[in-house]
Structure 1
Amino acid sequence: MISLLGGIALLVIGYFTYGKFIEKNFQIVPDRKTPAEVLKDGMDFVPMSRSKNAIIQLLNIAGTGPIFGPIMGALYGPIAYVWIVVGCIFGGAVHDYMIGMISLRNDGAHLPELASRYLGKNFKHIVNLFSIVLLLLVGTVFVTTPANLISSLTPDFLTIGIITLLIFAYYVISTLLPIDKAMGKVYPYFGAILIISTIAIGLTLIFGNYQMPELTLSTIRLENYNGVPMFPAIFFTISCGALSGFHATQSPMVSRTTTSESQGRYIFYGMMIAEGVIAMIWASASMSLFDAGTLSALINSGTPSAVVNEVSLMLLGNVFGTLAIFGVIVLPISSGLSAFRSLRGIIADYINVKQDTTKKVLMLTIPIFVVSFMLTLVDFNLLWRYFNWANQVTAVIALFVATRYLRLKNRNYIVALVPGAFMLYAVLVYILSEPIGFNLGLTPVTYIVGLVVSVIILWYLTKAGTKQISTLDENSEIVNDHLPIGTFSSGEA
């Protein structure tokens, strides 16, 4: 119990201390006009309240990540708490805040446009590719997981295939609606279900006399139950609850509906902290209710959705447990919708097709859904591994965008560089060692090659950044970020 409550307390403290520091370092301008006000279009650029933006951000970034990830991460034992807390405060929340706010300063631009602007035009194509692949995988994963959960609660005639088609039908309808109608009206109710069910599970754990494993020297292990080494696997297993590149595709969406820069810490940094709390509770529940062998067997029996069912029903009973399962279901459905909506926007920006008519929206939406439906037929565990790698590569890119932005503004860029460099090394070791990559295994050669390539990439980014700074002067649009929005064609303000 001490580890769970202590970890949650550290997350809250992190919001009020490190979060405040990150906000001060960014140098917000509270009365500056935002894209929601200047570029209002009734579809994607729509002013909304801080509370609605916050709940939309939470549901957009969460998905099943902060639940499924910690469930699988629980196989490493209480060391999972450390990554959730440290990763969330110093990595994930910084990542989400910086991309959300940089997008706010650039007319609500998506990550590929931001990468083009701050890392160089050639990066735009690379980041577009990663963003498209990532969002396709995210959308597919977040259709598959709720379909599995719903099928466990419904009659046999509602097969997973039928449920999947119904979810896609909901997505098609929602995609055609303005964001304040598709998300602003529904998400507060979804959010209430999620928050109440999560709190109920947490309180039942705390007051239900369950034996919760504590983080001690004797419980720290560097391999999980199945013998998989902690590095780098845990950083890909627990992503959405600590650091996730998927969030870099979602924060710009909310930057288009935010009405003041002063709301950024609460919306972007704060909702990542909230996701960390969700991750802590589900990791603790998984470790408290099952031994490692039973937990591993449940996960391997299909997906972690089996663990969600067991945890919810064991802790809350049939009625409230079922409500808790619905609380988990709304996460991937909402994140899947936002993933496809972001994917449509990124592709539209890339090929320069305005989304101002139903025909143009459907022209991009239908092919996306067809490809995604075909991916639902692929093995979930294979999809999850590819999603995890593409997800963390995107996080690295986003953190380097934030690093370059802060460096260009002559502010403390170490806050973004350190987590970015660490995850760069992790993604390189992962792709070198895993069967989905070069399949070299976790050998000394893998670690050395990963380190050498990381140093080369960091050297190149540093050199390119120095060259970019040397070409700027005091009147450069990149340096001057305090002018009214729309002053420059690129939108930086």
Structure 2
Amino acid sequence: DKIIGKIYPVFGICLIAMAVGVGIGIFSHGFVIPEIFQHFRNEHPSGLPIWSFMFITVACGAISGFHATQSPLMARCMKSEKQGRMVFYGAMVAEGIIALIWAAAGCAIYGGAKLLEAGGGNSTTVYDICKTTMGSVGMLLAMMGVIACPITSGDTAFRSARLTVADWFKIDQNDFKKRGLLTLPILGAGAVISHLDYAIVWRYFSWTNQTLAMIVLWAASMYLYREKKNYWITAVPAVFMSAVSMTYFFCAPECLGAFGLTTAVAYPVGIILAALFLILFLRATKKPVSGEAKA
């Protein structure tokens, strides 16, 4: 935790500097960001529906269940709970801005069709955009970003998985042997997954990432209700993400779409399920909390 607290901020600064440089480079090099309302139509070559595929594709740039799994890890790196707002909320706002910058850069430099041909936001396009907008400095930042992002993402994913399992089963992580017993099978699972088709893995990750975000939002809403605070600030996004995740699940080719279900089914089912989740949540808020019932 101490090592992470000293090294990871450096990676974060590099990623922010890279995004700022790209944002400035777009305008200084005369690139034009397409007007959204001039392209407010489905331009996907295969005709994939915008709702809800776009929200699944953007993934962490919009909302991220994966980031929610970092709570056990980040909590161990903070000195006070008061730092939570800056660390968690601030980080997600920053990532949203960074996502917008990169989306603008991709559209301005490549355009929709060319960006799809290039394979989307992979390491090659990151390197190309940085080189185009920032020259040799951009190339250096791109290499650091391409190297740092997989390392930090993998490290935090494995560490948070280990800590989550340890919390579930009350396994003391101060003991090196017990820590190793959890680490080895988790790394083994990661090794197996790394040999699968990454395009397929990414599609499943994107959906489960947003679905996990939906679950966390509902859990946070119930927590806020029990704390007698305004739970609508998370309940409304939870309803929206429920519609996104359920719609995608019912029409995506890697999910129920493989059985021939289309948007004609997915759209109404997604909305109905989102409304059902809200009803279940509101019904749960009407029930007395166990501690309050005894009082």
TM-score over 0.5 (shorter chain): yes
Say if 2:166 is the partner of 1:348.
yes
Q: Which residue of 1 aligns with 2:292?
A: 473
Say if 2:191 is the partner of 1:373.
yes
Q: 1:389 to 1:317 in 2, by over 3 A?
A: same
Equivalent-residue separation in structure 2 for 1:371 and 1:335 (angstroms): 16
Q: Which residue of 1 aligns with 2:207?
A: 389
Equivalent-residue separation in structure 2 for 1:281 and 1:219 (angstroms): 18
Equivalent-residue separation in structure 2 for 1:358 and 1:422 (angstroms): 43
Equivalent-residue separation in structure 2 for 1:391 and 1:323 (angstroms): 27
Residue of 228, 231, 241 corresponding to 2:48: 228
Aligned-residue CA RMSD (Å): 2.1
> Gapped runs of 5+ residues in structure 1?
1-178, 477-493
Higher relative contact order (Cα pairs below 8 Å, separated by 6+ residues):
1
Equivalent-residue separation in structure 1 for 2:186 and 2:212 (angstroms): 20
Local SS of the residue matching 1:378: coil
Local SS of the residue matching 2:292: coil
Equivalent-residue separation in structure 2 for 1:410 and 1:190 (angstroms): 38
Q: Which residue of 2 aligns with 1:459?
A: 279
Residue of 188, 191, 209 corresponding to 2:9: 188
Matches for 1:405-444 after TM superposition, within 5 Å: 405-439=223-257, 440-444=260-264
Residue of 193, 199, 219 corresponding to 2:20: 199
Q: Which amino acid aligns with 1:298?
A: A
Say if 2:63 is the partner of 1:273.
no
User: Structure 1 residue 259: deviation in Å?
Assistant: 2.8
Q: Which residue of 2 aligns with 1:362?
A: 180
Paired residues of 1:223 and 1:230 also in contact (CA < 8 A): no
Paired residues of 1:250 and 1:342 also in contact (CA < 8 A): yes
Identity level (%): 36
Residue of 62, 70, 90 corresponding to 1:242: 62
Q: Could you list the per-position Cα deviations for residues 285-308 of structure 1 after superposition, in whole angstroms to 9, with x for gaps in the alignment?
A: 1111113222111107xx722211
> Gapped runs of 5+ residues in structure 2?
none
Equivalent-residue separation in structure 2 for 1:192 and 1:454 (angstroms): 38
Equivalent-residue separation in structure 2 for 1:467 and 1:459 (angstroms): 13
Q: For structure 1, which segment, 217-226 or 268-277, has the greater mean C-alpha deviation from structure 2 after superposition?
A: 217-226
Equivalent-residue separation in structure 1 for 2:7 and 2:91 (angstroms): 18
Displaced runs of 4 or more, over 4 A:
none
Q: 1:298 to 1:466 in 2, by over 3 A?
A: same
Matches for 1:88-107 after TM superposition, within 5 Å: none
Local SS of the residue matching 2:256: coil
Local SS of the residue matching 1:355: coil
Matches for 1:97-176 after TM superposition, within 5 Å: none
User: Structure 1 residue 210: deviation in Å?
Assistant: 1.3
Residue of 438, 445, 467 corresponding to 2:265: 445
In terms of fraction of residues, the more helix-rich structure is: 2
User: Structure 1 residue 223: deviation in Å?
Assistant: 4.8
Q: How many residues align?
A: 293
Q: Which amino acid aligns with 2:65?
A: G
Paired residues of 2:217 and 2:237 also in contact (CA < 8 A): yes
Residue of 65, 80, 87 corresponding to 1:260: 80
